[in-house]
Structure 1
């Protein structure tokens, strides 16, 4: 799973920093202790603002999960998506 978190000023001001901290905590605790689905790998990167928010309105923070754009993202939703993908079936 490729997770990209926008760290532009508005995204950061509206919660990207909280998403980053939550994902780091998830990696350090829960994902280490649970049985992970075969082949699951979490790649997290912080991306610079690409100014798409200016065209799309108040959609921050913006997160990209495997290329899918998530507007108005929040940590609970991002963590739920990670856990769903990581869970061993």
Structure 2
């Protein structure tokens, strides 16, 4: 099981975290029971807005996350 935590705080939401969440939810339906998604309020990484959005895939913290980058990390752990 791949655990994905997505910061849904204001900074991260403003710069695309919710779009990444939507894409992950679609991926979750393609791989049932293999991806656990959790929205968290804040990961305390956005002192500098350049770090946002912040996403954790298992133990890997991704700052300035982009959709394709996150999907790649998740798929590496599924296969």
**Shared fold per TM-score greater than 0.5:** yes
Higher relative CO (Cα under 8 Å, sequence separation at least 6) belongs to 1
Distance in 2 between residues matched to 1:27 and 1:70, nearest whole Å: 19
Alignment partner of 1:44 is 2:37: yes
Answer with 1 or 2: which has the greater Rg: 1
Q: Helix, strand or coil for the counterpart of 1:52?
A: coil
CA shift, 1:2, in A, is 1.4
Any runs of at least 4 consecutive aligned residues in structure 1 with deviations exceeding 2 A, and if so which?
A: none
Alignment partner of 1:26 is 2:27: yes
CA shift, 1:61, in A, is 0.2
Q: Unpaired segments of 5 or more residues in structure 1?
A: 33-39
Q: Say how many residue pairs are matched.
A: 77
Residue equivalent to 1:73 = 65
Q: Where is the strand percentage greater, Structure 1 or Structure 2?
A: 2
Report the TM-score when normalising by structure 1: 0.76
Distance in 2 between residues matched to 1:65 and 1:82, nearest whole Å: 7
Q: Unpaired segments of 5 or more residues in structure 2?
A: none
